[in-house]
Amino acid sequence: MTPFLKWAGGKRWLTSKHREWFDVEFERYIEPFLGGGAVFFNLAPKKSILSDLNCELVSVYETVRSNPSEVVKILRRHQALHGEEYYYHIRAMKPRTNITRAARFIYLNRTCFNGLYRVNLKGEFNVPKGTKTKVILDDDDFQEVSKRLKSSTMSNCDFGTTLRKAAESDLVFIDPPYTVKHNNNNFLKYNEKIFSWSDQQRLFTEADQAAARGAKVIVSNANHSCIKELYGSSKWVQIEVERASVLASSAKFRKRESELVISNYLDADGSFSGVRS
């Protein structure tokens, strides 16, 4: 199933090219950096724990889960009125209800520049209007989205809170901001928050402990020497993968990019080897 949100750093390419890496037995799926939820929607797990530090994003998922028809109704109104002036009018709004907030979030996500989520120091969404004009998409199925989210436990929290719940028979997918040790003075902006190199180190500790408890863990991260060193123990297998960059404004500027997939249950060729705990 196609995610209903476009998200910078989203993993649609991963499920498209390497779906077999997730074809393992598990009882519960855990994802602490939910974003657009590409892996979750592709796997359609029966039980899951989903979280993100972005409280507005989590609210969107919770609202679509409980009120899909009402959200779609407002999206149709946005579709009918969409235009330059209308976009900036909606961007400046502060809706009062969860349903109008969720519809606003989805509308802006689908019509802003490159589907970016970016806020200023006041926490206000500030991405300019993009070129896309469709608010209601051909493959939209919010009833099915709602159905898939029904069995999910959702939280707005730090990744550590979520990862400490991981145990044997869980599949954990971790897709953090790609901070590296010498990048931007050791931090990246993660919505209103800062995701620092110390957060990457703390994330490794939580992932390592989840693996020690018997969880199957797969991490997507920057293909950088400091990340390779961080996950350098024999417990972790590191696989370099290439993907096309999609954030450049023109296709001619989009280059191949390399990322690192790290797991305690895959072999170097991507085959399943069993959990290294």
- Domains (range + CATH), the chain: 12-53+157-263 (3.40.50.150), 64-143 (1.10.1020.10)
pLDDT of residue 9: 87
Q: Which residues contact residue 96 at a Cβ distance below 8 angstroms, ignoring those fewer than 6 apart?
A: none
Per residue in 72-130, pLDDT tens? 999 999 999 999 999 999 999 999 999 999 999 999 999 999 988 888 878 889 999 99
Average pLDDT, the chain: 91
* Residue 2 pLDDT > 70: yes
Determine the average pLDDT of the residues in 14-39.
96
Rounded distance, CA 277 to CA 191, Å?
Answer: 33
Q: Which residues contact residue 80 at a Cβ distance below 8 angstroms, ignoring those fewer than 6 apart?
A: none
Determine the average pLDDT of the residues in 18-29.
96
Task: Measure CA 86 to chain center.
Answer: 28
Structure tokens given for 71: 């959200």
Rounded distance, CA 12 to CA 38, Å?
Answer: 5
Q: How would you classify residue 269: left for phi > 0, otherwise alpha for psi between -120 and 50, otherwise beta?
A: alpha
Count Cβ atoms below 10 Å from residue 8 Cβ, excluding itself. 14
Task: Measure CA 32 to chain center.
Answer: 9
* Residue 178 pLDDT > 90: no
pLDDT of residue 186: 45
Per residue in 183-225, pLDDT tens? 554 445 445 567 889 999 999 999 999 999 999 999 999 999 9
pLDDT of residue 185: 44
pLDDT of residue 245: 65
pLDDT of residue 153: 98
Q: Which range has the worst mean pLDDT, 138-147, 190-199, 201-210, 242-251?
A: 242-251
pLDDT of residue 187: 43
Q: How confident is the model at residue 243 (pLDDT cuts 50, 70, 90)?
A: confident
Overall residue count recorded for the chain in this entry = 277
Q: How confident is the model at residue 131 (pLDDT cuts 50, 70, 90)?
A: very high
* Full-model pTM: 0.92
pLDDT of residue 252: 54
